[in-house]
Amino acid sequence: MNKATEDYVNWFRHSSPYINAHRGNTFVLMLDGETVADDNFANIVHDIALLNSLGVRLVLVHGARPQISQRLQQKQIASRLHHHLRITDVDTLSCVIEAAAVVRTEIEARLSLGLPNTPMAGARIKVVSGNFVTARPVGVLDGVDMAHTGEVRRLDAKGIRQQLDDGNIVLLSHLGYSPTGEIFNLAVEDVATCAASALQADKLILFGQQPGVMDSNDNLRSELLTRKAERLVANYLSSLTDTEQPHTELSRHLDAAVKACRAGVKRCHLISYRTDGALLAELFTREGSGTMVLPESYELLRQASIEDVGAILELIQPLEQDGTLVRRSREILENEIQRFTLVERDSAVIGCAALYPFPEQQMAELACVVVAQGYKGGNRGDQLLQQLEQQAKRQGINALFVLTTKTAHWFLEHGFVPGSIDQLPNGKKAMYNLQRNSKVFIKPLG
C-alpha cells in the first residue's frame, strides 16, 4: 500500500465517528451569492452531494448580492443602502427576482449532475424549493421607506421537515412572500438563521470568503463562545458612523451565528468557500477548517475505558516519537487504562492524563499529560490537572509528583516545585531511568 492510499485509509477510519454522529442530523447551509459565483462552488456541490449520501438532512439557503449588484449596474439603477440593508424599490425588485431565479436554477442544475466518473455519479438528488418563507416589510426606518425590503415573519418548518423526511434537499432563496401576494427581498443571513432556528437544526454552516475568525496573532480560532462572538459584533457596530455603511461579511455571519445559537441551534460554523474541501474538513476531522460558534463548552472530562486505548495511542504517539513521553505499548495501556482521564470532544479524544497512586507514601504520579495539537490554546491541561488533583485527594494522597524532560515550565506555572529523586516513593525510585535524566517536580495538595 502506497503512502497516499495509507493516508486515505487512515483518514476514512478516523472520520467514521463523525459519519455516525452526523447521520440523520439536520444541517442548514448558507450559500451567499459570492459562494455560488466562486470557482470552487462546483467542489462545494460535490461535498453537499456526499453529505446527502451519508444521510445528512440538508437545507440550502442561497443569496444573490453580487448578482443583484451586477444587474443593477447593467440597468444603471443606483444601489442604495440604509441601516446596512438594500432599499428595494420596484426597479430594484425586478433585478432581485431575476438574480434569485438565475442562482436558484444554477444550484438545481449542479445538484442534478450524475455523469459517470464524476463525484456526482449516481447521486440522483431531489431538490425541492417553494414558498416556505413568509415575509413582512421592514417598513420605514428613520424616515426612509425600505419598500420591498423585508424580514422573515415565519417559516413552514412542518413542510420542510416533510420534504427532508422524504429524502429531499430543500432549497430556500432570499425571497419571501406575504399573505397578500407581495414579494420581499430578505437578507440571506436572516433566512438561514430563521430556518436553522425553526427546524432546531443541529448545525448552521455559513460560507464566507475568510475561513473564520482570526485572533490577534492572525491565527484561526477553531471555536468561539457565543458571548465572545456577540462582543465582536457589538464592537464592530459601535465603530460604524454611517447608517449606509454595510456590515462586513464576517460581522453578518457572526451575528447570524449568535442569533441561531441563542435560538437553540447547537453549533454554527464559519468556513471558507474558497478552500476546496473546507466543508468536509470542518465536519469530519478533529481539527476542522473554520471557526465554530457554540453557546457553551461541549467538551467533557471522563474516565477512560478499554475502547479508548487506540485513541490514546494515537494522541500520545507524536510525543513518544520526539522523546517527550516514555513509550507505552498497547498491552501496557490496556492494563493501566483505569488510570487515565480523558478530554472528549465530538466523540474524539483530544486530551489525556494518568494518575498512578503510591498509597504507602501518600503520593501519586501525574503522567502522560497530553493535549492534541490544535487544542493547546485553551485550559484543557488545567482541567485535567484539577480533575486528577481531586481524584488524588479522595484517595488520601497528599502530594503529586511528575517526571519530565521538556515541560518543566508548565508544571512550575501550575504549582509544582523542583524536587529530587530521593523524594520519590521507593517503587518509583527503583524504576527511575538515569538515561532519560528526567527532572522531578512535586506539588503538595492542601
Domains and CATH numbers, the chain: 11-294 (3.40.1160.10), 300-444 (3.40.630.30)
CA distance 95 to 206: 24
CA distance 379 to 387: 12
pLDDT greater than 60 at residue 244? no
Residue-level pLDDT at 119? 66
Please, which pLDDT band fits residue 184 given cuts at 50, 70 and 90? very high
The grid cell for 33 is 451569492
Highest mean pLDDT among 9-13, 172-176, 341-345: 172-176
Residue-level pLDDT at 103? 97
pLDDT greater than 70 at residue 263? yes
Nearest CA to 107 among 163, 62, 162, 150?
A: 62
CA distance 44 to 347: 26
Please, which pLDDT band fits residue 11 given cuts at 50, 70 and 90? confident
CA distance 79 to 270: 28
DSSP per-residue letters across 5-74: HHHHHHHHHHHHHHHHHHTT-EEEEEE-HHHHHSTTHHHHHHHHHHHHHTT-EEEEEE--HHHHHHHHHH
pLDDT greater than 80 at residue 243? no
Strand 203-208 to 223-225 pairing: unpaired
Please, which pLDDT band fits residue 377 given cuts at 50, 70 and 90? low
In the chain, pLDDT over 90 holds for what percent of residues? 69
- The distance of Cα 384 from the centroid of its chain, to the nearest Å, equals 23
Q: Residue range 388-395: average pLDDT?
A: 94
Residue-level pLDDT at 295? 84
The grid cell for 354 is 494518568
Residue-level pLDDT at 115? 55
Residue-level pLDDT at 436? 86
- Name the residue with higher pLDDT: 379 or 445: 445
Residue-level pLDDT at 245? 58
Q: Residue range 8-17: average pLDDT?
A: 80
Highest mean pLDDT among 136-140, 216-220, 237-241: 136-140
CA distance 152 to 354: 52
Q: pLDDT, tens digit, for every residue of 34-91?
A: 999 999 999 999 999 999 999 999 999 999 999 999 999 999 999 888 877 899 999 9
Highest mean pLDDT among 4-13, 40-49, 223-232: 40-49
Residue-level pLDDT at 117? 60
Residue-level pLDDT at 373? 81
- Name the residue with higher pLDDT: 177 or 433: 177
Identify the weakest region by mean pLDDT among 121-135, 155-169, 387-401.
Answer: 121-135
Please, which pLDDT band fits residue 246 given cuts at 50, 70 and 90? low
Altogether, the residues listed in the chain come to a count of 446
Please, which pLDDT band fits residue 375 given cuts at 50, 70 and 90? confident
